[in-house]
């Protein structure tokens, strides 16, 4: 989890940090806001297609090579971003950054599914979403302060150094988490062994007066060989190959996109990232203008509210959610159902929508910066808790198709975000900030309420689609 946490922070930091530098980049490179938002769209396009292209290889050949190659590409993107001088260099470096960062979220969820049990996954996803929070909010804050003193290029140099160290750490320390069974279990038949000294020979009289022999059953237990701990070289192997068909792994995410719980999670996360793109883009623009007139460090400090809100939201969705589902399972006769995780979302939904509306209205009216910060904190609480719960729900429901369903989530999320990034400025100028965020809040409230149908009919939906789910697993080669 330490590797996942570190990579998530730096990857999301790279993906979110550039909006803080826009004012400086406009002046130094002679770029317009439209060109900068187009570059952001290129990054989101890379994010949308990256999972479709690369995750099948991580399913077939292991997690370790995927982590190493993606970290290397992200490192190259960071070094290049620190040296760009033209618009087209910006476009290509952002596209490379998107492609390299695309697999982070899906690969991390695959690793969580590899390592953790049901009652631990909420906490594991909390750690992941805290990493997302630190990368999305704290990294821009620190980078903004550094850019104010040393310039935006030095912020990218800092990312480059951190990523280079992380790349080397993955190469020499990260162990493969993909599990390949080495034995196929076979049931052993219980047989009676009459005639031995320890046999129990009792006689009961049946209705017909005949004796019925009762013998002690003996089980034949085969002893498994003693396993040796893998050597360092074995743990650091670059490829852990299994027998799945690679072309089927490329195709499977598309039929997996029809699974209802996957559609629900995709909508939640697509909405969250789209709202995050809108909020971060307009924070950089609005708070650099009157009446605020913040410099790069001031814009960075505006992320403190969302950081605090997201941390509380992740705790709410992690340890509290794990405790809550254990209690629900006990009340349900010891039977756990994935939809039990959805009940806490009643609080998250209100915070999500209300926070967006509060941020937009207070910033539009030029109110003290603390009010937009509180709105951002409420939104981040809702986003963090909704995302963590939805991700854990998806792993609980479709454990054997974790990679495929999260590829679909990443594709939907980034496909929506591509259009949002390009539409932020026209949307803002045509509607005004207050109306824009009120509409976004109402839209988010409606989408977040989709957890209610899953609570009511989720179990029935899973039962009716059981055959479809098993067919998808069979095509993958799991069963």
* pLDDT tens, residue by residue, 142-174: 888 888 889 899 999 999 999 999 999 989 888
Contact 217, 445 (CB under 8 A): no
Note the pLDDT of residue 39.
87
Note the pLDDT of residue 277.
80
Question: How many residues are recorded in the chain?
Answer: 479
**pLDDT tens, position by position, 62-98:** 888 888 998 999 999 999 999 998 899 999 999 999 8
Distance CA(19)–CA(21), nearest Å, equals: 5
What SS3 state is found at 205?
strand
Note the pLDDT of residue 221.
47
Q: What is the model's pTM? A: 0.72
Cα R_g (the chain), whole angstroms: 26
- Name residues of the chain where pLDDT drops below 50: 184-222, 478-479
Q: What is the DSSP letter of 19?
A: G
What is 65-108 written as a DSSP string?
HHHHHHHHHHHHHHHHHTT--SHHHHHHHHHHHHHHHHHHHHHH
The residue among 12, 21, 5 whose CA lies nearest residue 74 is: 12
Distance CA(433)–CA(230), nearest Å, equals: 58
CATH match for 1-179+242-476 among 3.20.20.150, 3.40.50.300, 3.40.50.150, 1.20.1250.20: 1.20.1250.20
| Token pair in block for residue 134 | 């630190």
Note the pLDDT of residue 91.
92
Distance CA(408)–CA(121), nearest Å, equals: 20
Distance CA(453)–CA(56), nearest Å, equals: 32
């Amino acid at each position: 989890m330490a590797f996942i946490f570190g990579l998530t922070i730096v990857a999301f930091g790279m993906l979110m940090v550039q909006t803080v530098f826009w004012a400086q980049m406009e002046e130094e490179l002679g770029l317009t806001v439209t060109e900068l938002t187009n570059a952001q769209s290129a990054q989101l396009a890379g994010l949308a297609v990256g999972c479709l292209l690369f995750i099948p290889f991580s399913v077939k050949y292991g997690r370790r090579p995927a982590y190493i190659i993606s970290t290397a590409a992200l490192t190259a993107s960071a070094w290049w971003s620190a040296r760009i001088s033209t618009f087209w260099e910006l476009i290509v470096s952002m596209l490379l950054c998107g492609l390299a960062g695309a697999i982070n979220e899906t690969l991390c969820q695959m690793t969580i599914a590899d390592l953790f049990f049901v009652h631990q996954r909420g906490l594991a996803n909390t750690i992941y979403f805290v990493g997302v929070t630190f990368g999305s909010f704290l990294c821009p804050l620190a980078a903004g302060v550094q850019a104010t003193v040393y310039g935006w290029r030095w912020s990218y140099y800092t990312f480059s150094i951190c990523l280079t160290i992380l790349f080397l750490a993955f190469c020499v320390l990260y162990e493969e988490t993909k599990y390949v069974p080495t034995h196929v279990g076979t049931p052993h038949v219980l047989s009676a062994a009459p005639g031995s000294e320890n046999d129990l020979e009792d006689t009961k009289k049946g209705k017909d007066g005949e004796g019925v022999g009762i013998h002690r059953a003996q089980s034949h237990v085969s002893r498994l060989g003693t396993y040796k701990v893998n050597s360092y070289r074995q743990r650091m192997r670059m490829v852990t190959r299994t027998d799945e068909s690679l072309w089927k792994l490329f195709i499977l995410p598309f039929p997996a996109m029809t699974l209802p719980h996957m559609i629900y999670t995709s909508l939640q996360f697509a909405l969250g990232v789209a709202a995050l793109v809108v909020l971060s883009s307009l924070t950089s623009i609005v708070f650099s203008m009157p009446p605020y007139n913040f410099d790069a460090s001031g814009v960075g400090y505006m992320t403190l509210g969302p950081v605090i809100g997201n941390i509380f939201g992740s705790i709410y969705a992690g340890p509290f959610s794990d405790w809550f589902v254990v209690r629900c399972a006990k009340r349900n006769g010891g039977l756990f159902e994935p939809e039990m995780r959805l009940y806490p979302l009643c609080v998250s939904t209100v915070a999500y929508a209300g926070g967006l509306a509060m941020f937009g209205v207070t910033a539009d009216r030029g109110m003290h910066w603390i009010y937009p910060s509180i709105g951002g904190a409420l939104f981040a609480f809702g986003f963090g808790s909704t995302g963590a719960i939805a991700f854990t729900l998806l792993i609980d429901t479709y454990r054997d198709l974790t990679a495929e369903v999260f590829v679909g989530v990443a594709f939907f999320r980034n496909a929506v975000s591509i259009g949002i990034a390009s539409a932020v400025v026209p949307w803002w100028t045509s509607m005004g900030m207050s109306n824009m965020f009120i509409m976004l809040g109402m839209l988010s409230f409606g989408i977040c309420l989709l957890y209610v149908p899953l609570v009511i009919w989720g179990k029935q939906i899973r039962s009716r689609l059981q055959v479809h789910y098993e067919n998808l697993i069979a095509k993958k080669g799991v069963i």
